[in-house]
Copies of this chain bind each other. A is one copy, B any other.
Amino acid sequence: MNEAPLNGTEMDSRDQEREDDIHYGLSDETIQEIKESLELGLVEHIRQTVAELHSADIADLIEQLKPKHRSMLLEIADDLMEAEVYSDLDEAVRDDLVEEMEPAEIAELVTELDVDDAVHVLEDLEEDEQKDVLKELPAEDRIAIEEGLAYEEDTAGRLMQRDLIAVPEYWNIGQTIDYLRDTDDLPNEFYEIFVVDPRHHPIGTIPLDKAMRNQRSVPVKDIMQREQKLIPVDMDQEEVAYLFQQYRLASAAVVNDNGALIGMITVDDIVDVINEEAEEDILRLGGVSEDDLFGTIFETTKTRFTWLLVNLFTAVLASIAIGLFDTTMEKVIALAVLMPIVASMGGNAGTQTLTVAVRALATRELTANNMFRILGKEALVGFLNGCIFALLIGIVAWLWFSDPTIGWIIGVAMVVNMLVAGVAGMTVPITLDRFEIDPAVASSVFVTTITDIIGFVAFLGIASLVLL
């Protein structure tokens, strides 16, 4: 560890306080307290509590309250909240609040935000409303935001900050430091200084710690890192996030089509993107198109409906497959009793494989290069587990219905379906990915339809051949 020598002797009571204070995030007690205070109309108490909260925690507080309490809180303490509260809010909640505001109010809010956050708030508005708000903005802000909105959603252009430090390569560290000291309107936070050529193309970068360690006389050119990852302004945010993760970047320069430096992206914005993308995959795999926790009942019913409709269709397909064997079942009702087991096990094994595949496609671990090797592995894994479970369920079925034939019929069907599950669980996501359909969305419906139908048909089909 590197430490400056500590010679002082004074003791300080602040520490004591701070140590007892290590509790982060908004506590349930605070929320409860605010709820009760709102009911009781304890305006001053509420204002005092809110004033002590971090803007991110205020956003959480608003999310946790019911709509009536949200409005009350804003009426009482809106002036105590920084504009950042709005950019931290869940989209559904923010939309509700912003809907109640006049264009002029939204404009006022937006001018207080960084351009990237402002764009984030405005991009959710209806086009008409967006125009009304833009009209209310000072020219400078309006131009910056319109420029931001002109980039496609989920691209580097929407993520980047326009404020950055760029210096020419013939400067030295001293000039750079003086420039920093003399300029008022600097970015909020930055970790590196960009070095640009006369055409404003980035040619190198100096991490701040490196700049600080060098003497004033050292030329920028001598210590800059020439290798840097440049981000084209239209790069998809998922790709940007990949870049930051792969190369452990703290920040990176964004360039336009001509290669000129027009912005920078810092890793804290990427943290949000990584979260968003992971959340998207989790929700989509679960058959939910978006985070609808804070949506209204009607909205949520609607967002869940489509997926359920697709599943109704596939469930009916499976029933039609079962219907082909109705006479067999009529004769041996044990088949109807046991039939869901094979389908269910296939569905679960298929889901395991497709989950690994979807994740590996997202992290680029599954590629054209190892796809066949891994497909072969999954088929074998399915076959092996199929054999084990065939044995288990075979014995159970035999003992249950006192009939060894039922036992080996369900065993064979199990092996077949688990093998199919392994193959389908890998092939379906890879194929969807090839056709540029998000494998997180559609894989599970395809795979479980396959394992359901194969499960029912294999079991009932073999039974028909053997028992009739």
Bound Cα distance A312, B168 (Å): 68
B-contacting residues, A262-280, CB 8 Å: 262-263, 267-268, 270-272, 274-275, 278-279
User: Across the interface, do B187 and A56 meet the contact criterion of CB distance under 8 Å?
Assistant: no
Bound Cα distance A14, B202 (Å): 10
User: Across the interface, do B315 and A282 meet the contact criterion of CB distance under 8 Å?
Assistant: no
- Contacts of A139 on B, CB cut-off 8 Å? none
- Could you tell me the distance in whole angstroms from the C-beta of A181 to the nearest C-beta in chain B? 6
Known: A283-B355, A384-B297. A64 touches B209 (CB 8 A): no
Residue of B with least CB distance to A330: B333
**Contact for A183 among B2, B281, B340, B345, CB less than 8 A:** B2
Bound Cα distance A315, B248 (Å): 45
**Contact for A2 among B185, B259, B351, CB less than 8 A:** B185
Of A43-51, A97-105, A193-201, A430-438, which binds chain B? A193-201
- Contacts of A169 on B, CB cut-off 8 Å? 8
User: Across the interface, do B31 and A163 meet the contact criterion of CB distance under 8 Å?
Assistant: no
Q: This chain: how many copies in the complex?
A: 2
Enumerate 29 A-B pairs (CB-CB under 8 Å) in ascending A order: A1-B163, A2-B185, A2-B186, A3-B200, A4-B166, A4-B176, A9-B198, A22-B230, A24-B243, A28-B367, A31-B367, A35-B369, A57-B246, A60-B365, A181-B212, A191-B191, A191-B209, A245-B271, A271-B274, A274-B275, A275-B278, A281-B282, A291-B359, A297-B384, A300-B378, A301-B385, A307-B352, A315-B341, A323-B337
Interface residue A74 (Cβ < 8 Å from any Cβ of B): no
- Could you tell me the distance in whole angstroms from the C-beta of A345 to the nearest C-beta in chain B? 6
Interface residue A419 (Cβ < 8 Å from any Cβ of B): no
B-contacting residues, A424-442, CB 8 Å: none
- Contacts of A348 on B, CB cut-off 8 Å? 287, 307-308, 311
User: Across the interface, do A291 and B356 meet the contact criterion of CB distance under 8 Å?
Assistant: yes
- Contacts of A108 on B, CB cut-off 8 Å? none
- Contacts of A191 on B, CB cut-off 8 Å? 191, 208-209, 250
Interface residue A467 (Cβ < 8 Å from any Cβ of B): no
Bound Cα distance A267, B244 (Å): 11
- Contacts of A344 on B, CB cut-off 8 Å? 311, 315, 318, 452
User: Across the interface, do B370 and A64 meet the contact criterion of CB distance under 8 Å?
Assistant: yes
Q: Count residues of chain A with CB under 8 A from any CB of chain B.
A: 166
Interface residue A214 (Cβ < 8 Å from any Cβ of B): yes
B-contacting residues, A200-251, CB 8 Å: 200-201, 203, 207-209, 211-215, 229-230, 232, 239, 242-250
- Contacts of A57 on B, CB cut-off 8 Å? 246
Bound Cα distance A377, B299 (Å): 11
- Contacts of A215 on B, CB cut-off 8 Å? 181
B-contacting residues, A121-163, CB 8 Å: 162-163
- Contacts of A190 on B, CB cut-off 8 Å? 209
- Could you tell me the distance in whole angstroms from the C-beta of A75 to the nearest C-beta in chain B? 20
Residue of B with least CB distance to A270: B271
- Contacts of A197 on B, CB cut-off 8 Å? 6, 8, 10-12, 15
Bound Cα distance A316, B333 (Å): 16
